[in-house]
Chain A
Amino acid sequence: MLDAEFFRRWMTVTAASVDREAERLTALDSPIGDADHGTNLQRGFTAVRAALEKEPPATPGAVLTLSGRLLISSVGGASGPLYGTLLRRTGKALGAATEVSREQLAEALRTGVDAVRQLGGAAPGDKTMIDALVPAADALGDSFAAARAAAEEGAVATTPLRARKGRASYLGERSIGHQDPGATSSALLIAGLADASGPTGAAEAADE
């Protein structure tokens, strides 16, 4: 089972990988966006990490809703509301339980991803974060490792697509040939989830 500490580790691990990958995210955002995706997410997850260290919430749901609210208050752009909504709605779906199973998390994540789809109006294939999150939420029912692989595959698969949402959509045909920065950062979030389960898949082993 996954407890609040696991979820806090998920956010902390993700914050560290966003730090590490900020420049790559910004570079991906340069040709088709406005070159700030890495910087913006870094600012948000730094705020999340600081708050979770200061006052760690007691339940998995509370960790995610607090993190989501902080992202909305600190990131700005489209990423703030979209990532914030993803975590808040996933957290809300987990309710007040002190421990949840991976299957319950998969179900909650699906609720979160649906909320993001509704907010941004994006569907799979529009070259957005949805292209990494939808397959990841589906694969999470199998294992953390499968979710990680599905998100990464989904992100890479955005490269040949033409953007239909967000700033890249203004480039029309010229958005083709670039991997979507939002799908890429979403893959980092899901990789953080897999990493939080431990190098040996400890959480997963405990779950199964």
Chain B
Amino acid sequence: MKMLINVPETVVADALRGMAAAHPELAVDVENRVIVRRDAPVAGKVGLVSGGGSGHEPLHGGFVGPGMLSAACPGEVFTSPVPDQMVRAAAAVDSGAGVLFVVKNYTGDVLNFDMAAELAEDEGVQVAKVLVNDDVAVTDSLYTAGRRGTGATLFVEKIAGAAAEEGQPLERVEAVARQVNENSRSFGVALSAVTTPAKGSPTFDLPSGELELGIGIHGEPGRERRPMMTSGEIAEAAVDAILQDLTPRNPVLVLVNGMGATPLLELYGFNAEVQRVLGERGVPVARVLVGNYVTSLDMAGASVTLCQIDEELLRLWDAPVNTPGLRWGV
């Protein structure tokens, strides 16, 4: 497998060096692996810190900036960052108003952020945590680690980020983040497996005539393998899986997210089908975002995330944001 890298060991550090060069508005600490908005800590503002394995770009580092995250901690590829990174990030962005950790529900992320929260509180930083777990493909959460955090992470980071930017207190920013998560659901499909730099070959074998339904974002196989479907059939499977779990009475935000290797031509076509299905199911749509936002290295495929919103959440969604990966209103 050909990759545009030097050696697998330096993939994350090399990307951070390149990110630093491309985005002087961010302070990128390559050695300690923390990306911080350069004007942090902002007086009176709650700090928003997220992080997770690398390989999901622009998540999370690409969402650091005014209106969204204060700092991000990238781990190794598909591996949670370590507590040291999160403690450093929390200290860098805390203005005394406290810090919210946005954590995706994976055992590694949860354990490392839990340890970091304890350590940061020892250092006098007030920390709150919100767990993102939007993936409806995981059904029997009673006997597993629970639903995965996937596309809704973007909604949580954007909307809670806007609340923090307005100067809302920590309890309020945390409550907004929880509200977004509780009203969000995702479903993903894979048309190909991923190749991690360390392994150098696809993590599982997916024949050309088949697809995986109900995947996460770490190159793991899904719940079910089926013969290849059309874009319209996939849209129906994804939207119906979500609507089995969420019955929106209010309008929804829609994220049609590429996994990394699916071109925008296909994603826009897929979005057309998602919009058709939502129309047929009577779900009103407030805003639509299409693109590669929560990716899985070189995986081909897409996910759909819906978030039921009220007027306040929509206002926060529309608020200005200025980051490498998401920018509007500025």
A and B are partners in one complex rather than unrelated chains:
yes
Q: Are B198 and A39 in contact (CB-based, < 8 A)? A: yes
Distance (whole angstroms) from the CB of A66 to the closest CB of chain B: 15
- Please tell me which one of the listed residues B80, B108, B220 contacts residue A171 in the complex, with CB atoms under 8 A apart: B220
- Please tell me which one of the listed residues B84, B115, B145, B196 contacts residue A35 in the complex, with CB atoms under 8 A apart: B196
Bound complex: CA A32 to CA B219 (Å): 10
Interface size range of chain A in the complex:
20 to 34
Q: Are B204 and A82 in contact (CB-based, < 8 A)? A: no
With known contacts A26-B199, A170-B138, A172-B140, A76–B219 Cβ distance under 8 A = no
Bound complex: CA A166 to CA B145 (Å): 6
Say if the beta carbon of A17 comes within 8 Å of chain B.
Answer: no
- Residues of chain B within 8 A of A119, CB atoms compared: 111
Bound complex: CA A82 to CA B110 (Å): 12
Q: Are B115 and A72 in contact (CB-based, < 8 A)? A: yes
Q: Residue on A with the closest CB to B81?
A: A76
- Residues of chain A within 8 A of B244, CB atoms compared: none
With known contacts A35-B199, A80-B112, A169-B144, A120–B107 Cβ distance under 8 A = yes
Q: Are A165 and B112 in contact (CB-based, < 8 A)? A: no
Say if the beta carbon of A40 comes within 8 Å of chain B.
Answer: yes
With known contacts A82-B111, A170-B138, A170-B144, A77–B80 Cβ distance under 8 A = yes
Bound complex: CA A44 to CA B81 (Å): 13
- Please tell me which one of the listed residues B82, B83, B111, B145 contacts residue A169 in the complex, with CB atoms under 8 A apart: B145
With known contacts A165-B145, A166-B145, A170-B216, A30–B203 Cβ distance under 8 A = yes
Q: How many A-B residue pairs have CB under 8 A?
A: 112
A-side binding surface: helix, strand, loop or mixed? helix
Q: Are B108 and A77 in contact (CB-based, < 8 A)? A: yes
- Chain A contacts with B in 34-86, Cβ cutoff 8 A: 34-36, 39-40, 43, 72-82
How does the 8 Å CB contact mask read for B73-110 relative to A, with 1 for contact and 0 for none?
00111111111100000000000000000000011100
- Residues of chain A within 8 A of B287, CB atoms compared: none
Q: Are A76 and B112 in contact (CB-based, < 8 A)? A: yes
Bound complex: CA A165 to CA B145 (Å): 5
Bound complex: CA A35 to CA B145 (Å): 18
Q: Residue on B with the closest CB to A165?
A: B145
Q: Are A35 and B107 in contact (CB-based, < 8 A)? A: no
Q: Residue on A with the closest CB to B77?
A: A36
Among B84, B115, B220, max chain A CB count under 10 A is at: B220
- Residues of chain A within 8 A of B108, CB atoms compared: 76-81
- Residues of chain B within 8 A of A120, CB atoms compared: 107, 111
Say if the beta carbon of B281 comes within 8 Å of chain A.
Answer: no
Q: Are B196 and A167 in contact (CB-based, < 8 A)? A: no
Say if the beta carbon of A33 comes within 8 Å of chain B.
Answer: yes
Bound complex: CA A79 to CA B107 (Å): 9
Distance (whole angstroms) from the CB of A72 to the closest CB of chain B: 6
Q: Are B221 and A35 in contact (CB-based, < 8 A)? A: no
Interface size range of chain B in the complex:
35 or more
Q: Residue on A with the closest CB to B139?
A: A172
Say if the beta carbon of A92 comes within 8 Å of chain B.
Answer: no
- Residues of chain B within 8 A of A74, CB atoms compared: 82
Bound complex: CA A85 to CA B46 (Å): 31
Say if the beta carbon of B223 comes within 8 Å of chain A.
Answer: yes
B-side binding surface: helix, strand, loop or mixed? loop
- Residues of chain A within 8 A of B140, CB atoms compared: 172
Q: Are A26 and B198 in contact (CB-based, < 8 A)? A: yes
Bound complex: CA A132 to CA B249 (Å): 49
Q: Are A35 and B111 in contact (CB-based, < 8 A)? A: no
Bound complex: CA A33 to CA B216 (Å): 11
Q: Residue on B with the closest CB to A26?
A: B199
Bound complex: CA A24 to CA B55 (Å): 23
Q: Residue on A with the closest CB to B148?
A: A170
Q: Are A78 and B219 in contact (CB-based, < 8 A)? A: no
- Residues of chain A within 8 A of B223, CB atoms compared: 170-172, 174
- Chain B contacts with A in 228-258, Cβ cutoff 8 A: none
- Please tell me which one of the listed residues B137, B144, B198 contacts residue A165 in the complex, with CB atoms under 8 A apart: B144
Q: Are A164 and B80 in contact (CB-based, < 8 A)? A: no
- Residues of chain B within 8 A of A82, CB atoms compared: 111
Q: Residue on B with the closest CB to A77?
A: B108
With known contacts A78-B111, A171-B221, A172-B140, A34–B78 Cβ distance under 8 A = yes
Q: Are A36 and B196 in contact (CB-based, < 8 A)? A: yes
Q: Are B111 and A36 in contact (CB-based, < 8 A)? A: no
- Residues of chain B within 8 A of A39, CB atoms compared: 76, 198
Say if the beta carbon of A31 comes within 8 Å of chain B.
Answer: yes
Q: Are A35 and B219 in contact (CB-based, < 8 A)? A: yes
Bound complex: CA A165 to CA B198 (Å): 24
Q: Are A77 and B144 in contact (CB-based, < 8 A)? A: no
Distance (whole angstroms) from the CB of A137 to the closest CB of chain B: 21
Q: Contact residues of B with A, CB < 8 Å?
A: 53, 75-84, 106-108, 111-112, 115, 137-138, 140, 143-145, 148, 196, 198-199, 203-204, 216, 218-221, 223
Q: Contact residues of A with B, CB < 8 Å?
A: 26, 30-36, 39-40, 43, 72-82, 119-120, 163-167, 169-172, 174
Besides A72-B82, A119-B111, 4 more A-B contacts (Cβ < 8 Å) are A35-B219, A36-B196, A81-B111, A172-B144
